[in-house]
Amino acid sequence: MERIKTDICIIGAGSGGLSVAAGASQMGAQVVLIEGHEMGGDCLNYGCVPSKSLLASAKAAYGMTHPGDLGIAPAEPQVDYAAAKAHTRRVIETIAPVDSQERYEGFGVRVIRDWARFVSPTEVQAGAISITARRFVIATGSRPFVPPIDGIEDVPYLTNETLFDLSERPEHLLIIGGGPIGIEMAQAHIRLGSRVTVLETGKALAAHDPECAAIVLNRLREEGVEIVEGAQVTRIGSEDGSIIAETADRTYRGSHLLVAAGRRVNLDGLDPEAGNIACDKAVRVGDDLRSVTNRRVYAVGDAAGRLQFTHVAGYHAGIVVRSAVLGMRWAKARQDHLPRATYTDPELAEVGLGEEEARRRYGSKLEVVRSSYDHNDRAIAEGRKTGTIKVLVAGGKPCGAAIVGAHAGELVGMWAMAIANGQKMSAIANTVLPYPTFSEINKRAASGYFSPRLFDNPRLKTFVGLVQKYLP
């Protein structure tokens, strides 16, 4: 057996693991990176990249039939589902070299393509190679959670890991799960010509602001997606070539089934007990992202049991590099400034506290300011007036923001920056933005916070009257 001693051993070559590997190796640390499956992880191969690529195809098709009042006649698109899937593969192939084994070996990283397991608190084994390291980083990501529904293993079902290999357009796609993955794929497929039914046990898009989520769900229903909330699927079966999903009061039939019922962290086969690594649904870590039981071990991304987003894994990687590579043990991970987005049309994006939590925390000190897309000149010009922004303010600083509308995922970045850096609403209001842009929606919301203080202030009006009277 080959034996390796290294500074940092990273398990998992997804977004978090690759970011740690790139940063640590280029700063001079010896790095071993272990990956038993695909370089780039879920995001590149089965998640963010292919899903947004398919949504782009769907958006193009929808734009042909719904050009709006722009003087363009609607036209019926010729949708080639297999070609749309080929587009997603080309996008993956274009991005893949950035995450490739060859690129990381160019950084000096030893890349081992095998599955890893702990054999002691200081040693990992991957195939016929034993790796002893000063620090370990668990970046194993997550996989689709398939609920234990009666009969589900007896029918061919899809997850995000298999959906993008499908080249035949589903005639009627049943989706179990009304979270971001389920809702995004529902809109993509309705626009590409499928019938779509979404079955959600609770509330669809429950993790988002209810007011903003309702706008998205109403749009999907208008486009023809059947969204059934409070629908607990009790049995899955097949009949006459159709897949059947049964709930307490109804039976749904479809040609294909997509399971989008959440994620499960990949810890199987890792043998964390041998490494003295405490786990529940994920690795148990503190805000320093270090294992609470084995201080040699860090976890990032989904493996750390926090928000499950690619950009969060990248953020975690930066914390780990500062701590494990540069010795900045005071580096801590926050959550209050991390944005999240669902890429439907209209888009849905948030950062910071939700309104309910903010009211519990700040009570009567909380202020809510809003600005609508239909007051934005660029939105009016492009016929994209559906949308709103809601900003939660406490002590003159934003503590949360929710946006639904065109480019929401881009617009939320300004509020993420403000919250991350403790900026006041005046920082946004004082920013000069090019006209006409969607980003002016943010400034309008910030200005709306100050409007009553300026225009409904009797003392200020008295002062202005005196200034005008006596100013030379």
Annotated binding site for FAD: 52, 140-142, 302
Q: Which residues pair with 137 in a beta bridge?
A: 10, 298
Binding-site residue set for NAD(+): 177-184, 200, 262
Quote the tokens at residue 415. Answer: 């509020």
Neighbours of 67 (CB within 10 A): 14
Supply angle C-alpha 366, 368, 369, rounded to 5. 145
Contact indicator for 121, 294 with CB cutoff of 8 Å? yes
Contact indicator for 315, 309 with CB cutoff of 8 Å? no
- Pairwise CA distance, residues 124 & 294, whole Å: 14
- Pairwise CA distance, residues 288 & 285, whole Å: 7
Q: How far is CA 460 from CA 291, 347, 449, 469, in A?
A: 56, 40, 16, 14
Q: Which residues pair with 33 in a beta bridge?
A: 10, 111
SS3 291: strand
Indicate if the alpha-carbon torsion angle 25, 31, 37, 42 is positive or negative: negative
Query: DSSP code of 169?
Result: P
- Pairwise CA distance, residues 312 & 263, whole Å: 15
- Pairwise CA distance, residues 244 & 238, whole Å: 5
Angle at which helices 48-65 and 180-191 cross, to 10°: 40
Binding-site residue set: 52, 140-142, 177-184, 200, 262, 302
Quote the tokens at residue 76. Answer: 């019926």
- Pairwise CA distance, residues 91 & 248, whole Å: 42
- Pairwise CA distance, residues 173 & 191, whole Å: 12
Residue 333: φ, ψ to 5°: -90, 130
SS3 208: coil
Quote the tokens at residue 132. Answer: 């002893």
Angle at which helices 15-26 and 310-320 cross, to 10°: 30
- Pairwise CA distance, residues 150 & 247, whole Å: 11
